[in-house]
Amino acid sequence: MTTPYNLPLFYDVILPNYIMPNALISELAIVNYLHSMNSTRDLRSNSFFEQNLNAGNDEYNPLTFLFDKSFGNFPNSTGGGGNLSAGMYDSLINRNVNSLYIGKRTVNKYIYPITMSPHIDDFSGVTRQGSKLNGEYFWKHMSAQALEDAKNGRALIFLDLAQENYIESYQYEKIHYGIERSEIPKEQIVLAFNSFNAQELYETWFSSDQRKLKVINWPYVMANTSYYYSIVTAARIDPLKFISTKNTIRKNHFVFKIRRPRPYRQVLLFKMCSDNLLDLGDWSWLQETNYDEKNLESIKHYYQFDIDNEKIKNLYKQLPHSLQDEQGSYSSISSWTDRQTLTYENAYFYICTETYVHGEHKSVTEKVCKPMVNFLPFLFVSFKGALAWLRHLGFKTFSPFIDESYDDEPNESKRVNMVYNEIKKLCNMSKEELHDWYWQMRDILLHNHYHLLNFHKTDTHAVKLIEYLDSRVN
């Protein structure tokens, strides 16, 4: 067993029931301070600005309610203890969480964590011309002591973006722009996010003299989802229960979950609606959305789908739309809050659409883990080669039961079309045919279930990241 690593994680301000996020804009810090001083709630996981307003739109939150969009959609730093505080790291890290003032008396070097906003353009501080956010580089809101320690090599700034999957090269350039003005040495800033190849891409895009920080791969989401399912057994189907359903014909052909309607999700649902397939399955679209004919025409043109506009107009009258057994809304259902299993027990296959389907990043989220832990084969709309990458990680996919040649298609539009052809083929099967097709994959489904539950124990990326952080401060 790996000996736990001792990581000093220091913060400028620790409140009565809350760790103030490092590098938080002062106006936002004041509100969080008032919230903590006048609340008895445990606020470690969420800042005031991450609380729900149940408005059906994550761009409308306490931040935008109080300040309009002066500071973008989220603070430039969020969260309490950051993702290094996740339970799956309890046996791997001895955390010395302390205020900088007290903690630095006991160590020579320390980590200064900053949990980045998912809105990277806002975090960069250079994208909102004419707003208060413009010029608000993260380092401006570090304490003078932390900034001095970073400049002289005593503080290692850790930019934690563990739950996000994508950074464009132009976004790095904007972050570089702010860092250049700080005089912080590039070796004192580490950025880690949910990607298997973030470091390789960054070092391809920028030569050594162009880099202003170090990027490290941290595919956090799949490992954390594995850990979550290993301890929250109510959120997954038990293998014995799965096997016991072999003689039961299921209610639905498919499950197709949409929380935020990105274009490739919309076009698949629109095409399924146009072809009268939606009544065969269980589907959701949780975000409140108005019919937009220009958007529809743009999507049709890009993906080259024949879509019936009148049927789509009628579809919008049903939105937002929940799964048949789902209790919740856009605001209450997120990565790890949908814990009912009936949806999966009642279907034969899953239509899985990732957060991003373009570009070179290899990023996988909790979305594909849900069908795997709940014994459903899936079609995967993701980056080119995503299925091959899952196999590289030890999972099994579903060829020849599903034609997975779409995984090799570099063109996003063609890839989505190829996925749809497989969806339609499966929807054209009778329940009896689909039932027989499904149970031929029994061993694959069991393998994926068990492999996912153990994935957090075997994934080495987090260990490499933590080893690196340890080497820099101990």
Please write the tens of the pLDDT for every residue from 350-365.
999 999 998 889 999 9
Tell me which residue of 153, 228, 156 sits closest to 192, measured CA to CA: 156
Place of tokens 């464009």: 168
pLDDT at residue 296 in the model: 95
Please write the tens of the pLDDT for every residue from 88-103.
999 999 999 999 999 9
Residue 349 DSSP SS3: strand
Distance CA 46, CA 241 (A): 36
Q: Provide mean pLDDT across the span 437-459.
A: 96
pLDDT at residue 61 in the model: 74
Lowest mean pLDDT among 78-87, 122-131, 264-273, 358-367: 78-87
Q: What interhelical angle do 263-274 and 309-316 show, nearest 10?
A: 110
Q: Provide mean pLDDT across the span 292-312.
A: 95
- Contact predicate 237/344, CB 8 Å: yes
Distance CA 105, CA 412 (A): 54
Q: Provide mean pLDDT across the span 305-327.
A: 95
Tokens of 196: 């298997």
Residue 30, CA distances (Å) to 136, 171, 351 in order: 16, 29, 44
Element (H, E) at 6: strand 5-11
Q: Provide mean pLDDT across the span 245-271.
A: 97
pTM for the model stands at 0.93
How large is the greatest C-alpha to C-alpha distance in the chain, in angstroms? 70
- Contact predicate 11/19, CB 8 Å: yes
Displacement of CA 462 from its chain's centroid (Å): 16
Which CATH class, in words, describes the domain spanning 237-458?
Answer: alpha beta
DSSP E strand stretches across 187-301: 189-193, 214-217, 252-256, 282-283
Residue 119 has pLDDT above 90, yes or no: no
Tell me which residue of 141, 142, 138 sits closest to 155, measured CA to CA: 142
DSSP E strand stretches across 103-212: 110-115, 155-161, 189-193
User: Which of residues 72 and 284 earns the better pLDDT score?
Assistant: 284
% of the chain with per-residue pLDDT over 70: 94
Residue 333 DSSP SS3: coil
Residue 189 has pLDDT above 60, yes or no: yes
Residue 51 has pLDDT above 70, yes or no: no
Please write the tens of the pLDDT for every residue from 353-402.
999 998 889 999 999 999 999 999 999 999 999 999 999 999 999 999 99
- Domain boundaries, given as residue ranges, for the chain: 5-219+459-473, 237-458
Q: Please state the φ and ψ torsions of residue 444, each to the nearest 5 degrees.
A: -65, -45
